[in-house]
Chain A
Amino acid sequence: MAKKRLTVLKRLLEFSGMNPRRLRMKWVSSAEAVEFVHEISDFAEEIKQLGPNPLRVKEAA
């Protein structure tokens, strides 16, 4: 169910002017600590590359 909603949300965010790459979904169990760290680090890197969220920039302006 979450997967279905996230699929829609990602596309809605894109339609609303937000980069869909800023939303990520991944199933990780509490026994998969290494995978979790890897995923978060990877995502954090991607976000850094994308730069500040235009929403925040525009709100501040």
Chain B
Amino acid sequence: MGHKIKEQVQKLLEEKRIKGFLGLRELEGHILPHLFCNPQELESLSLGDWKKAGDARYPLNQILIQLATKYPQETFAVLVRGCDERGLRELFKWNQLAEEKVVPIGVGCPDELAKACECEKPFPDCLIDGLKGEGARSQRVHRVDGMDLDARLDFWLGEFKRCIKCFGCRNVCPMCFCNECSLEEELLVGKGEIPPDNPTFHLVRAMHMVGRCIDCGLCEEACPADIPLRTLYKKIAEIVNEEFGYKTGYNVGEKSPFNVIEVK
């Protein structure tokens, strides 16, 4: 697994079409992001599978933005799964990355990971290696939809009660790039309280995931309190699709309805 990616990246590096390839490597038994600048380094390439499929994933797009900001003239290749590709498409539209300076290197997710993520499309269109897997339907959202109003409230208040305001969800999110985060605004979320304003903190975050969340699942993985964040954000995606016919990251040209102000 991964040799097609190594071949493609090697070619790009040798032809000097990219300055480097932002991917993952294995080092001393751990997996971490790495910028591969010459082909010899590719020996240690990892796709993000440590003990289980996809359990060592990182928000590579976030790191790419930092790279691109520091080296705006350079072109970089980046390892992308289905979700990352959705992220790139949105980041281009939001002017956080320049499309002509990014070469996506696509890898498909194994079934086991796709099912765990309940991912609708576990592979990128620019697929080079890995499975072109089948999408999975979401059970998480369905379960909450099946509860009555009062049960839902009890459920969510109970889940959010464990929040320690570590900001792990926001920090790891590849789509969060705001310089001033609403969650740090005292008037919205009081400071010095644990758990933070319940349920305000998480509902504010959910509202900010509108037209933005790519369903990569890193937030839920990062959460030390096992809060079912994806259930909330998947519901947001469902609402946005039903109300506006928009699916984050599926469309190349079309901007999110929340990124456009119509002047009548």
Interface set of A (CB-CB < 8 Å, partner B): 1, 4-5, 7-9, 11-19, 54-55, 58-59
In the complex, which residue of chain B has the Cβ closest to the Cβ of A11? B239
In the complex, which residue of chain A has the Cβ closest to the Cβ of B243? A7
- Which B196-215 residues have a C-beta within 8 angstroms of A? 198-199, 203, 206-207, 210
Chain B interface size band reads 20 to 34
B209 to chain A, nearest CB (A): 10
A-B CB contact pairs (8 Å), 9 listed? A1-B258, A5-B207, A8-B239, A12-B239, A15-B232, A17-B152, A17-B156, A19-B149, A58-B157
Please report the number of residue pairs spanning A and B whose Cβ atoms sit closer than 8 angstroms. 62
State the majority secondary structure of interface residues on A: helix
B116 to chain A, nearest CB (A): 22
Does chain A have a CB within 8 A of B178?
A: no
Does chain A have a CB within 8 A of B50?
A: no
Pair B149/A18 contact, Cβ less than 8 Å? yes
Pair B207/A16 contact, Cβ less than 8 Å? no
Residues on B with C-beta less than 8 A from A11 are 239, 243
Pair B240/A8 contact, Cβ less than 8 Å? yes
Residues on A with C-beta less than 8 A from B240 are 8
Query: In the bound complex, how far is the Cα of B232 from the Cα of A19, in angstroms?
Result: 17
Per-residue contact bits, chain B 127-152, to A (CB 8 Å; 1 contact, 0 not): 00000000000000000110101111
Residues on A with C-beta less than 8 A from B153 are 16-18, 54-55, 58
